[in-house]
């Protein structure tokens, strides 16, 4: 397995381009299943998860072509050949479950394996299932697969989600576009990726109102047509690279970044003493003189602090002045990076869903192991601040969510290289 070696102690300076959002693109790609006409996505990220979703869609009969070096995804689902999403593909990535809603809407049936992905808790499918059942689907779990049927097609319904799940909101939103009648979904997710999906679906002819709020109304239509859509900037990649100069020192401009996508995160950085500026090119970040200050963080659904930036934030707080407290409210088992950071000299105590981090003046380079996507990049960020060499093993997680990370950080002056085993 590949490893990444980071030699710390070098301040960063320069530009880091921000890619299209992985989480948005993985929801947009299954939208091709809703129409017989072509759907083209621009500003797509070049990641292994995109390749996995492409393989899944092809297994269903969709045509998928990656153009312009992978930054353009051209898809056509004019003739589907299967409604079964097999375990061998689905197990690699949790977002694979997003074919369930579109298949039910168009084909009135679907057989979808329970998904895999990062080991950060159970993340059950019950909210997805209850939303689709509210629209008339009959769903049975058997032999590790969800067997779903919508006899006569899905019907508009009114329902509230017990938790604002992003994936369940996306699945239900796509399903409702072809349901008969009007669907009103409340307590839904408000993330920018939801807004981006609604924008794409509307370009395909869907009738949607309320995205970005806790209630979305969808008036079902008979068919959707083709469209071309630009994927929104990746707010998690943006937040990650905003932290790089804070941890390593220096100044970086994140090209294409938008502060409105990361307001709660940026507010915490400001409280810690970080200088942040929205420019006409992106977001400029600079650490003021000296160490940053400790801050308390609690993850929450959007517009709160993103769970996908918690591990990276912990890496920054490892060298902050004072003691910080991080509360993880979204996923269990998402402090698995803490023991690895401790190997680098961090002072971290974990009690259930809360971690206390007492900053040290300097971390020490060490061999560490990535346990999931965001944990892997948090260890690389920590390596930027560490004395000596940090070797991050099992970085295959990293390639699921960050394109050309070594080139992007290296272009800003970081001493980083990949070792291929």
Q: Answer positive or negative: Cα dihedral of 94, 98, 101, 107.
A: negative
Beta carbons of 413 and 12 less than 8 angstroms apart: yes
Q: Which residue in 22, 24, 91 sits closest to 55, CA to CA?
A: 91
Instruction: Identify the bridge partners of residue 84 per DSSP, sorted by sequence position.
Output: 111
Scored b (16 or more CB within 10 A) or e, 297-321 reads bebebbebbbbbbbbbbbbbbbbbb
Element housing 51 (H / E): helix 48-59
Tokens 């990649």 sit on residue: 237
Question: Is-catalytic flag, 118?
Answer: yes
3-state SS, 91-108, equals CCCHHHHHHHHHHHHHHC
Q: Which residue in 239, 391, 255 sits closest to 316, CA to CA?
A: 239
- Residue 308 CA to residue 313 CA, distance in Å, equals 10
- Residue 22 CA to residue 39 CA, distance in Å, equals 17
> Which residues have C-beta within 8 Å of that of residue 411, sequence separation ≥ 6?
14, 15, 16
Catalytic pick among 25, 118, 254, 318? 118
Active site positions, annotated: 118
């Amino acid at each position: 397995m590949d490893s990444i070696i980071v030699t710390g102690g070098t301040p960063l300076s320069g530009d880091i381009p921000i890619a299209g959002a992985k989480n948005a693109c993985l929801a947009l790609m299954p939208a091709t299943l809703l129409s017989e006409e072509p759907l083209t996505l621009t500003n797509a990220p070049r990641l292994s998860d995109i390749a996995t979703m492409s393989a899944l869609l092809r297994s269903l009969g969709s045509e998928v072509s990656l153009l312009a070096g992978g930054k353009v995804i051209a898809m056509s689902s004019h003739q589907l050949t299967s409604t079964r999403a097999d375990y061998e593909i689905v197990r690699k990535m949790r977002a694979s479950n997003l074919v369930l809603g579109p298949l039910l809407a168009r084909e009135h049936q679907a057989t979808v394996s329970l998904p895999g992905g990062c080991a950060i808790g159970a993340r059950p499918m019950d909210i997805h299932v209850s939303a689709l059942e509210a629209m008339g689907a009959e769903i049975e779990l058997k032999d590790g697969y969800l067997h779903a049927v919508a006899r006569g097609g899905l019907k508009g319904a009114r329902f509230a989600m017990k938790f604002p799940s992003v994936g369940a909101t996306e699945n239900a939103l796509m399903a409702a576009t072809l349901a008969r009648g009007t669907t009103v979904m409340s307590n839904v997710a408000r993330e920018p990726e939801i807004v981006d999906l609604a924008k794409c679906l509307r370009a395909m002819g869907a009738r949607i109102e309320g995205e970005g709020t806790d209630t979305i109304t969808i008036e079902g239509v008979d068919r959707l047509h083709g469209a071309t859509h630009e994927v929104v900037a990746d707010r998690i990649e943006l937040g990650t690279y905003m932290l790089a100069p804070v941890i390593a020192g220096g100044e970086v401009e994140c090209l294409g970044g938008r502060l409105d996508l990361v307001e709660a995160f940026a507010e915490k950085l400001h409280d810690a003493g970080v200088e942040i500026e929205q420019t006409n090119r992106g977001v400029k970040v600079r650490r003021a003189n000296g160490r940053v200050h400790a801050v308390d963080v609690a993850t929450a659904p959007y517009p709160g602090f993103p769970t996908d930036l918690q591990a990276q934030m912990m890496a920054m707080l490892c060298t902050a002045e004072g003691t910080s407290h991080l509360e993880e409210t979204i996923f269990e088992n998402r402090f698995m990076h803490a023991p690895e950071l401790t190997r680098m000299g961090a002072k971290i105590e974990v009690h259930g869903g809360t971690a206390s981090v007492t900053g040290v003046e300097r971390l020490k380079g060490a061999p560490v192991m990535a346990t999931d996507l965001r944990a892997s990049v948090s260890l690389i960020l920590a390596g930027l601040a560490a004395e000596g060499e940090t070797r991050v093993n099992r970085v295959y997680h990293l390639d699921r969510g960050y394109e050309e990370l070594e080139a992007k950080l290296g272009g800003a002056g970081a001493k980083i290289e990949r070792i291929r085993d």
